[in-house]
A = this chain, B = another copy of it.
């Protein structure tokens, strides 16, 4: 299986774009992060290793990572766009705890199927969907008792 780096390199050359040390470093930092990272968070991480990298480059690179299929933008309604790993990861939706901000990734094949059906019923061809379930997680429920 191709590595994320291969995918990214191939995407760049296909688009006649260039690989640079900044892009290499940002890809690596992104891949080392587990969760849902914002541009600013990634900027703060990368700074520790190379303080010469600018914010704009981080924004630009994350966009590129999303275009190449390495990353996927997710929006938890907290005012910033976040990115999660996409390449090599299955599709999933998110449960978001409104108290502690924790997110859980989950899929329900039946829901996925019914979404397709619902779209079809209205004449739509689905390209993608977003489903966020907001609520209170187990731990926060216990705490507030």
Select which of B98, B110, B132, B138 is within 8 A of A123 by beta carbon: B138
Any B CB within 8 A of the CB of A108 = yes
Question: How many copies, total?
Answer: 2
List chain A positions with a Cβ less than 8 A from chain B.
75, 77, 95, 97-98, 104, 106, 108, 110-111, 114-115, 117-119, 121-138, 141
Tell me, rounded to whole Å, the shortest Cβ–Cβ distance linking A105 to chain B.
10
Looking across the interface, which residue of chain B has its beta carbon closest to that of A128?
B134
Asked if A134 and B125 make an inter-chain contact with CB atoms under 8 angstroms apart, the answer reads no
Select which of B114, B125, B141 is within 8 A of A136 by beta carbon: B125
A131 and B129 form a contact (CB under 8 A): yes
Known contacts being A77-B75, A95-B122, A118-B106, is A134 close to B141, with CB within 8 Å? no
